Amino acid sequence: MSSKAEQTAASLGWGHRFINAAMRTVYFGRIPVLDVGADPAARNESADRSKTFVRDESSSDSTTRSPPRLIISSHRNGAIDGHQVLAAFPRVQFLISIQLIRSWFLRLFIAGIPVVRPKDVERYNLDPASVTSPVEAGTAHLRRGGDLGIFPEASSEWGHRPQHYKSGAARIACTLIEEGIDLEVIPVGLFYSTPDRFRSRAEVVRGKSITIPDRNGQDRSVWEDQVASAMGSALDEVSVNCPDEETFERIQANALDVARSTSGGAATFAKAFLDLQRESTTAAADGAPAAASLAVTVLRWVGLALMWLFAPVLGAAAFAGSRADGRNTVTFFRLLGSFAAVMVWVTVLIVAAFFWPLVIGIGIVSAVCGWLLLGLRRFRL
């Protein structure tokens, strides 16, 4: 393996994991993870294994680490999707567009294995000899036992079904299997009740590990197509995949009603969505989705008002979100704006606390109450 590939295969650092966890928790709250691919006994065994096993990514001895995992995820809400996958796989490393890590500011909370397209070489004046192909970089990371995350749709879109899946994940899997590496491929579905609203619901569904078809002497291209088809089918099973936009809107609203009315349990919105999606003809007959009630609207304004101490941060987030080019990028833009504002405003608050400790203390308590109010199950968007 080349040193160039080794450098791109490093595990996601604790700093990025911490910042990503903080950002997704503040914006959405706790991210429930629903495992639909294992029975309770298997889940307990997996949990025990994750607690007792420590991956040694610096070791070259494959017998001392568990099989590498290739996580293929749906892509619904721009660059923020990576934050949600990290809730289920904290050490996953992603193949990401190089434009996301060109800026020092973005590198504070975005990291990954850069994907460099031919037009990026020209755009950023890169040396073609220094560029590692995405497949090569991805396989290098997996050979070392790391978790690799890929969004096969390549770009996000807030729609009623997935976009066309690219074949890169299948090529990576086939390459490693040919090398005799035991690879686990896991499909992940991402669900948002309202993708562009603060403190709305975000949930992750982990599907059953995919059984990769045997090659059986077939040409590599034919085998890759079969592997890609198996991956696509598995991803469709745990993702938003409605027949049309109208059905999607109805299922989305009905699943939200279920989540608001069901107490306890994990990932109730995602589970309700998938259950209704499997019965889409029934869901389509339930009438148009209801608009947010007056109580929900009033409660949201009260919650935001209670966060008065952080008005500059909320204002920066709102302004940045207004610059987004689509509904699927609003949250990411808001996080960019709020992250930049936080770096300045927190410093101001620390200084102000020396002069007006009571005011700052009351403001912080009020903000926490507002944040909790916005996350109430029965009224949450």
Per-residue pLDDT at 9: 42
Q: Are 166 and 153 in contact (CB under 8 A)?
A: yes
Pick the CATH number of 3-241 from 1.10.760.10, 3.40.1130.10, 3.30.70.920, 3.30.420.40: 3.40.1130.10
Distance CA 108, CA 235 (A): 30
The count of other CB atoms within 10 Å of the CB of residue 280 is: 17
Structure tokens, 81: 């999707």
In angstroms, rounded to a whole number, what is the distance separating the alpha carbons of residues 52 and 212? 28
DSSP β-ladder status, 184-192 and 202-206: antiparallel
Contacts of 17 (CB under 8 A, 6+ apart): 86, 90, 91
Rounded-to-integer distance, Cα 246 and Cα 254, Å: 12
User: From the CB of residue 54, how many other CB atoms can be counted at a distance below 10 Å?
Assistant: 10
Q: What is the pLDDT of residue 63?
A: 41
Beta strands 184-192; 69-73: pairing state:
parallel
Hey, is 33 helix, strand or coil? Answer: strand
The pLDDT assigned to 381 comes to 80
Cβ-based burial of 358 (10 A; exposed 0-12, middle 13-18, buried ≥19): exposed
Domain residue ranges of the chain, discontinuous segments joined by +: 3-241, 246-283, 294-374
| Confidence at residue 18, expressed as pLDDT on a 0 to 100 scale | 86
Q: Cα 331 to chain center, whole Å?
A: 12
**Nearest Cα to 304, choosing from 238, 381, 244?**
381
> From CA 252, how far away is CA 288, in angstroms rounded?
11
Query: What's the N-to-C CA distance of the chain in angstroms?
Result: 48
Check: CB of residue 183 under 8 Å from CB of residue 176. yes
Record the tokens describing residue 219, joined without a space.
């040409």
Question: What whole-number distance in Å separates Cα of residue 111 and Cα of residue 82?
Answer: 10
Cα separations in angstroms, 270 against 189, 208, 238, 340:
9, 16, 9, 31
> Going by C-beta distance under 8 Å and a sequence separation of 6 or more, which residues neighbour residue 195?
76, 77, 158, 327, 328, 330, 331
CA distances from residue 307 to 198, 365, 380 in whole angstroms, order as listed: 13, 9, 17
Residues of the chain with pLDDT under 70: 1-12, 38-65, 117-118, 121-122, 125-132, 263-267, 281-292
Residue 21 backbone dihedrals phi, psi, to 5 degrees = -65, -40
**What's the rounded Cα separation, in Å, for the pair 258 and 297?**
19
> In angstroms, how far is CA 6 from the centroid of its own chain?
25
pLDDT (0 to 100) of residue 295: 80
Instruction: In whole angstroms, give the CA distance from residue 305 to residue 15.
Output: 31
For β-strands 93-97 and 184-192, DSSP reports them as unpaired
124 burial via Cβ count (<10 Å: 0-12, 13-18, 19+): exposed
As a whole number of angstroms, the distance between CA 155 and CA 77 comes to 9
